[in-house]
Structure 1
Amino acid sequence: MSHYQRIACLCTEAVETLYLLGAQDLIAGISGFTVYPPEARQHKPKISGFSSGKLEKILAVEPDLVVAFSSLQSDILKDVAAAGVDIQHFNHHDLAGVLRMVRVLGSLTGKTDAAERLAAELQVTMDAARAEAAANDAAGLPRPLVYFEEWNDPVITGIGWVGELIALAGGRDAFAELAVHKRAKERILADHREVAARAPDLIVGSWCGKRFRPETVIERDGWQDVPAVRNYGRGHIIEIKSADILAPGPTLLTRGLPQLQALIRQWHADRAAGALA
């Protein structure tokens, strides 16, 4: 059976996954936002941004398949399809979708065995985290309330896979009810004081495309009594890089989840030591 030989990846998680599957030689071009693995940025031509891309630049690498993610890349995919090139458009918003993506890319590249191994490894990671959180529950340890901010102006939160990661790590998503909304504009908070009203124990920021600035968060009107702000000096407000938690590929579990687990373990340690303000 023949498989695709020249794949243009408009999303960073596809690049990461193809490298993990051992299919990196099939990658003809990558998104300029690609972070993992670092060697991809060194050796693969950059052919697009995330929400923008020129058809001519994509077609210049002569792809037989273009892989993309989210509705933000729909318009460019229409042009790619009109040009006669096959497309694979992912739009998952949960961790189950990450595993599906791994298996689909394995099938498209003839790497089905590698895809099954990778999916199994990711599942083991999830199961281990879930078991640790369950052990804490059984021991009577409370789950901290975690507020995740993916953008600051306007304030956006509640992305589905992040809520799942928070739960796996042993926490509670402060805005879990927003996870049903797929589009970011549907998860905008009308007033940032809604966050303060929920009094999160921990705050995680990941502002896509720019550095998270916790000092601006703690200065927001009405946030001074938020537990995470009161314990800011103990590291209860952190940044997780967008490449680790906003790109819905294996990195969510290999990089994003461990950082959330470390944050929650520290919170438990501070609580046990009576160090919470």
Structure 2
Amino acid sequence: MRIISHTCSNTEIVCTLGRVDWLVGVDDHSDYPPEVVERLPRIGPDLDVDVEKILALEPDLVITSLTVPGHERCLERMEKAGLPLLVTRPHRLADVAEDIRRIGEAINADSAAAEWAGRFEQALNRQPPPGSPVPILVEWWPKPVIVPGRDSWVNEMLALAGAVNPWADQPAESLEVSTEMVRDAAPQAIVMSWCGVDEAKYRPHIVRRREGWEAVPAIAHDRIFAISEAWLGRPGPRLLDGIELLRRVVQGVGAG
């Protein structure tokens, strides 16, 4: 089977399920595992894929996604071209597990998919740490400040780590928050997880110097953490590691 993966998360799922040799192309932003993606043809950025390049690679299956605003335009163009598509759009960790199962079934990797889906189910069954949940601001983008809303798997990740997203009740996948909203929420920590930016380029001083944020507990106590969006923003196997990284943030707040 000839598989093309559109989006980092789908690339990681295919590789985790043992179908590396079936991949014939990936989007420009897929970067993991590096030893795999470095040798593969690229189909363009995830928000502007080159349909002609995809057609030229003669895929039997294109695994695509609707996890980011703008993906729907790519999907429309691929549908118009008559490409064989499998579309993911998870909002919860259980959805991620189900997508892994669906992809596994489509690429003849049912056993591996069942194992990984089971790991997500085990994680969801774990009890969160005792005590009141710690309000934590997870920051997808620094200017304007974009955070997860109600329809994000990050809410469950935070809960399993002993934390809470102050905007978990907002009916959106993500939303822009104002200075007033952040002051009212009073997050005890801020996690930079800037989408599409290498973690080495995250800049805590950009968060610290925001006007009006001085009294926010996370800023006042200098609790600004960096966790690559690879661990929080990509709905694939590494979200399980992301939960553990968030646990460390919660522990850091408690130690402070």
Fold shared by both chains (TM-score > 0.5)? yes
Q: What displacement does 1:39 show?
A: 1.8
Q: CA deviation at 1:55?
A: 1.0
Determine the C-alpha separation between the residues in 2 that align with 1:217 and 1:162. Answer: 20
SS in 2 for 1:46: coil
Structure 2 Cα separation of the partners of residues 93 and 44 of structure 1: 29
**Hey, what does 2:181 align to over in structure 1?**
194
47, 50, 73: which one pairs with 1:54? 50
Structure 1 residue 201: Cα displacement: 0.5
Letter in 2 for 1:86: P
Determine which of 4, 15, 18 is the counterpart of 1:22: 18
Residue 145 of structure 1, aligned match among 117, 135, 143? 135
> In angstroms, what is the RMSD of aligned CA positions?
1.7
Q: Give the corresponding residue for 1:173.
A: 165
Q: Is 30-39 or 101-110 further displaced after alignment?
A: 30-39
Rg bigger for which structure? 1
**2: CA distance, partners of 1:158 / 1:61:** 35
Distance (whole Å) between structure 1 residues aligned to residue 76 and residue 209 of structure 2: 44
Which residue is equivalent to 2:90? 92
2:8 to 9, 12, 15: 12
Shift of 1:42: 2.1
Give the corresponding residue for 1:275. Answer: none
> Take 2:120 and 2:31, find their aligned partners in 1: how far apart are those partners?
19
Alpha-carbon deviation of 1:16?
Answer: 0.7
The structural deviation recorded for 1:104 is: 0.3
- The structural deviation recorded for 1:264 is 0.7
Runs of 4+ in 1 over 3 A off after TM superposition: none
Is the 1:9–1:66 contact (alpha carbons within 8 Å) kept by the matching residues of 2?
yes
Q: Secondary structure at the match of 2:43?
A: strand
Q: Distance in 1 between matches of 2:80 and 2:220?
A: 55
Q: Structure 1 CA distance, aligned partners of 2:95 and 2:238?
A: 13
Question: Contact 2:6–2:62 at 8 Å: present in 1 too?
Answer: yes
Give the partner amino acid of 2:245: Q
Structure 2 residue matching 1:62: 3-state secondary structure:
coil
- Which of 156, 160, 171 aligns to 1:164? It is 156
Amino acid at match of 2:99: M
Code of the aligned partner of 1:24: V
1:268 aligns with 2:219: no
1:204 paired residue number: 191
The 8 Å contact of residues 43 and 51 in structure 2, kept in 1 or not, is answered as no
- Following TM superposition, by how much is the alpha carbon of 1:207 offset from its aligned partner in structure 2, in angstroms? 1.6
User: Which among 38, 41, 53 is matched to residue 37 of structure 2?
Assistant: 41
Partner of 2:63: 67
What SS does the aligned partner of 2:148 have?
coil
TM normalised by structure 2 equals 0.91
After superposition, the C-alpha distances for 1:227-273 in whole angstroms (9 at most, x for unaligned) are 111221xxx2111112221111111112x211101111122233xxx
Residue number in structure 1 paired with 2:110: 112
Amino acid at match of 1:169: A
Aligned residue for 1:273? none
- SS of 1:48's equivalent in the other structure is coil
Deviation, 1:44, is: 1.8
Against the structure 1 CA distance between its residues 67 and 269, is the aligned structure 2 distance closer, same or farther, given a 3 Å change threshold? Answer: same
Q: Tell me the distance in 2 between the aligned counterparts of 1:207 and 1:261.
A: 19
Task: Give per-residue Cα distances to partners, 1:9-63, cap 9 Å, x unaligned.
Answer: 1111111111111111111111111122222222322212111111111112111
| Structure 1 partner of 2:217 | 227
The amino acid of 1:114's aligned partner reads: A
What is the rounded CA distance, in whole Å, between the counterparts of 1:80 and 1:221 in structure 2?
44
State the secondary structure of the residue aligned to 1:84: coil
Q: Which moved more, 1:259-268 or 1:80-89?
A: 80-89
Q: 1:81 aligns with which of 68, 79, 82?
A: 79
Corresponding residue for 2:239?
252
SS at match of 1:148: strand
